Structures are given as structure tokens and as C-alpha cells.
Amino acid sequence: MDARPAQVVLLPSPLLGPSVWAPVAERLRHEGWPVDVCRLPTAPVSPRDVLAAFLEVLTPGRPVVLVPHSNAGLYVPQLVHEREVVATVFVDAALAPAEGAAPLAPDSFRAFLETRADADGLLPPWTRWWDDADVAGLFPDAATRLRVEEEQQRLPLAYFRDSLPGPAGWAHRPNAYLAFGDTYDEERRQAGVWQWPVETLDGEHLHLLVAPDDVATTVTALLARLDVHPPGV
């Protein structure tokens, strides 16, 4: 094991961007963690492009803690396979199967996305997938929403017809799950089946923007249950 402290790497959904993690990153640094937030390639992108961007931030041989949000959770098995990942805390995130390829979207959700794609096969930005009344409540204020929307990617529908490789063993490493409300209830239940530490905060999918102090504190507490601590603690 590398003697240097593990770097916390926050992985944003390819549909959004690094701004969704900025408030939590600030709080984690205040708690003593060395933190990086992954940037993403410009759209349109394939899953391989996103994987390459994540791997570029994760220095080979350097121990890292992964904290993926949403769709970024599906990249964890391959990242664990290729880098020195000491622990992962999934934050309201999708989970890959314990072994085998991970579809980027289930069949039922792909059917919904097909109704949103334009004639060129491009999807609108994520916040335009839904009614505005449903989206507005995800953000703490208009300025934060604007900042996030400026980073949104227009992914091709083909992205969600693809899958990611699924090396075996990742699900039985040091992992934990933080859910916001019940949106990812199935994933939260699966984390419990795998006997991971699990916590739930009452909030919506972008609760990391609404209550970054609570999210950072809970991520730190889950890592402590995995016996991973900030440097010097």
C-alpha cells in the first residue's frame, strides 16, 4: 500500500458536470481530506470517453477513495480494476451487477429516453428531460441551477444503449452507500444485501447541492465505518 494518504475523487454524472460536487468538495477539504473533482469530456461522448476521463484523474499507484454520484456509479468496477481504490462511497448512484457488463440504462428507461431524443439522436440537457416544476426543487437557488445547467452534457441516445465492462470482485471490497430519499431504493437495498454500510438523507437527487454539510459529514462517517480516515486522524 502506498504510504501517501488516499485522495478523495468525486465523480460527477456524465449528464451534469463537476459543479454538482463543488460545495461538498469544499466541506471535505475543510475536514482534512485531499479532494479532486473529475472533469468530463465535451459532449457528445461515449462511455469509453467518460471512463478515459476518470482514469486520467486517477494516478496509477496512488490510493484513492471514489465518491460517484448518479450514473457515475456504473464506472466503479472498471476503475477498481485499473486503479488502487481503497474504498468507494456511492452517493444516490447507480450500481453495476456484481459481475458482468453494466447497461448504461435499463430497458424501461431507454424507452423513455427514445421519446426525448431529437432527429440526430441527441438528448436534451438532463434538466429538460423533466417538467420544470419537478426540476426547480432540486436546486437551492437560481444561481446554482444556472451554474449546473451551463455544464450539462447533451449525450447521444447511443450512450444509453451501451454498456460498461464488469470485472468481478468490486462489490465485495470496502464500499458504502448514501441515498437521498427513495429514488435509488433498489440500489440501497442491494447495498444492504452486499452488507455495505448504508445511510439515507431526506432529500432529492441533487441533495449534495442543497445540504453539502450533511452530505460531506455523512460521507466521512461512512468512510470511518470502512476504516478510512482523513490524513492525520
Q: Could you please report the per-residue DSSP string of 139-189?
A: SSSHHHHHHHHHH----BHHHHT-EE---TTGGGSSEEEEEETTTTHHHHH
pLDDT of 22 reads 97
| Unique residue bearing C-alpha cell 423533466 | 130
pLDDT of 74 reads 97
Q: Peptide bond preceding 231: is omega within 30 degrees of 0, i.e. cis?
A: no
Task: Determine contact, residues 122/157, Cβ cutoff 8 Å.
Answer: yes
| Nearest-angstrom CA–CA distance, 136 and 5 | 39
C-alpha cell at 83: 486503479
* Closest listed residue to residue 154, CA positions, set 130, 129, 131: 129
Structural domains of the chain, with CATH: 7-103+165-225 (3.40.50.1820)
pLDDT of 42 reads 80
Q: Which residues of 3-27 are buried (b: 16+ CB within 10 A; e: fewer)?
A: eebbbbbbbbbbbbbbbbbbbbbeb
The structure's pTM equals 0.95
Residues 6+ apart with CB under 8 A from 87: 6, 65, 66, 173, 174, 175, 176, 223, 226, 228
C-alpha cell at 75: 464506472
pLDDT tens series, the chain, 233 aa: 445 678 999 999 999 999 999 999 999 999 999 999 999 988 668 999 999 999 999 989 999 999 999 999 999 999 999 999 999 999 999 999 999 999 999 888 999 999 999 999 999 999 999 999 889 999 999 999 999 999 998 999 999 999 998 899 999 999 999 999 999 999 999 999 999 999 999 999 999 999 999 999 999 999 999 999 998 77
Q: What is the DSSP string of 191-231?
A: HHHTT--EEEESS-TTHHHH-HHHHHHHHHHHHHHTT---T
C-alpha cell at 233: 486522524
